[in-house]
Amino acid sequence: MAITKPTPLFPTYTELAELNLSDYPQLSSFLDKQPTWIRQHWDWAKDYLLYIGRNKSQHTYVRFRNDIEKFLLWVFMVDKQPVDDLRKADILRYIDFCVAPPVKWISTQLHDRFSFKNGYFASNLKWTPFRQTPPKYD
Number of domains in the chain: 1
Position 53 in a domain: yes
Position 138 in a domain: no
Chain center to CA of 72:
6
Q: What tens digit of pLDDT does each residue of 102-119 get?
A: 999 999 999 999 999 999
DSSP 8-54: -----HHHHHT--GGG-HHHHHHHHTS-HHHHHHHHHHHHHHHHHHH
Position 41 in a domain: yes
**pTM as predicted:** 0.91
pLDDT at 23: 96
Q: Number of C-alpha atoms within 13 angstroms, CB side, residue 135? A: 2
Position 8 in a domain: no
Position 115 in a domain: yes
Position 63 in a domain: yes
Position 3 in a domain: no
Query: What mean pLDDT value characterizes the chain?
Result: 94
Q: What tens digit of pLDDT does each residue of 16-39 get?
A: 999 999 999 999 999 999 999 999
Position 5 in a domain: no
Domain residues for the domain of 35 are 13-103+110-130
